[in-house]
Homo-oligomer: A and B are copies of this chain.
Amino acid sequence: MAGITEVAERAGVSTATVSRALSGNGHVSETTRERVRVAASELGYVVSSNASGLATGRTRNVGVVIPFLNRWFFASVLEGAESALLSHGYDLTLYNLGGSREERRSVFEHFLLRKRVDAVIAISLELTPSEVTRLINLRKPIVGVGGPLLGVRTLSIDDIEVARLATEHLLALGHRSIAHIGGAVDSETDFHMPTNRRAGYEAALEAFGVPIDPQLFGAADFTIEGGYIAAKQLFGNPRKRPTALFAASDEMAIGAILAARDMGLHVPDDISVIGVDDHQLAAFFGLTTVAQYPQRQGQLAVEILMDQLHPGRPGPLTVNTPLKYDLIVRESTARPDARRH
């Protein structure tokens, strides 16, 4: 319960000096600074963020808006952001949009306006135009992760290239009948990731002179279960079962592997499967995938915000490097004719 005044008394200085000593703003002699530090720690003093925030207008707190908590990608970005914020002395206020429409509205109309956050990180949000407006009107630094956000700097892997790489891996192995499981086409939202991954898949096929067969596309919801269902449809077609499958996420790819097993198909002998993400479970399932690094993405988002929040801060300025992704070849892909049985 100790306040700045007690620290000042104990250190024999004014409150202003305590403030300066502890925050690092302004010049304080090293001896004084040390004396203040000691006094503060002896009293267990920690600045009140309310008072400090009120005086400075800054809160050392950033809001993270996220559509799901229980999915690997989102939780990983959050994890990366949380730890990076912590290391900068920032708190993270979490807004999950997974609930009701009402909750969602109140986040945008009420919570984000409380001046409690200095900046916001928006993770893979599919926002309505009015929500985007509200976000922009905050006039605070914003960075998006994993999804395009109109008018906002966004961190995202090049989905077209990633899909292209995955598809080319299959083509290079010799596959010509390659199915794709991706997101359902939904013109309402402007969330382009599924569309981009499909475009990359098609571009790779076209570049190889392989015709695109709409029957080799299955729509799913990016879950294991969704991938399982979609894969069963594709694998069950006796007339033209594909020899390979590119799933737009590892979770769907895992669903597809399970579907194949249940249908008596061997992966990769009967069917090769590749995903995107390098999900927690990818290695366990021997899944070939194009890895992306969501934790690092969350961390990077924080660094970008810090650059904006503390313009002169030391350390390398965050460059606008494209996000890293890597092809990781495991056991779920092989040449189509490499049958072992």
Min CB gap A102→B, angstroms = 9
> Across the interface, which residues of B come within 8 angstroms of A107, CB to CB?
86
Question: In the complex, which of the residues B54, B89, B225 contacts A51, with contact meaning CB atoms closer than 8 Å?
Answer: B54
Nearest residue (CB) in B for A284 is: B225
In this complex, how many residues of chain A approach chain B with their Cβ under 8 Å: the count is 47
Which one of A113-121, A211-219, A331-339 contacts B? A113-121
- Residues of A20-77 contacting chain B, CB below 8 A: 44, 46-51, 53-54, 59, 61, 69-70, 72, 75-76
Q: What CA separation (Å) do A111 and B59 show in the bound complex?
A: 13
The verdict on A110 contacting chain B, using a C-beta distance below 8 Å, is: yes
Which one of A92-100, A150-158, A232-240 contacts B? A92-100
The verdict on A287 contacting chain B, using a C-beta distance below 8 Å, is: no
The verdict on A91 contacting chain B, using a C-beta distance below 8 Å, is: yes
Q: How many copies of this chain does one complex carry?
A: 2
> Across the interface, which residues of B come within 8 angstroms of A92, CB to CB?
93-94
> Across the interface, which residues of B come within 8 angstroms of A284, CB to CB?
224-225, 228
Q: What CA separation (Å) do A106 and B46 show in the bound complex?
A: 12
Question: In the complex, which of the residues B53, B72, B111 contacts A50, with contact meaning CB atoms closer than 8 Å?
Answer: B53
Q: What CA separation (Å) do A222 and B82 show in the bound complex?
A: 24
Q: Is the CB of A46 within 8 A of B78?
A: no
The verdict on A269 contacting chain B, using a C-beta distance below 8 Å, is: no
Q: Is the CB of A83 within 8 A of B96?
A: yes
Q: What CA separation (Å) do A48 and B117 show in the bound complex?
A: 11
Question: In the complex, which of the residues B54, B98, B116, B261 contacts A91, with contact meaning CB atoms closer than 8 Å?
Answer: B116
List 14 A–B pairs whose Cβ atoms lie within 8 Å, in order of A's numbering.
A46-B110, A46-B113, A49-B115, A54-B54, A61-B116, A69-B78, A70-B75, A75-B75, A78-B94, A83-B98, A83-B103, A86-B106, A93-B94, A228-B284
A44-B113, A79-B98, A86-B95 known; 11 other A-B pairs, CB under 8 Å? A46-B115, A49-B115, A50-B50, A51-B54, A70-B75, A70-B280, A83-B103, A86-B99, A89-B110, A93-B94, A224-B281
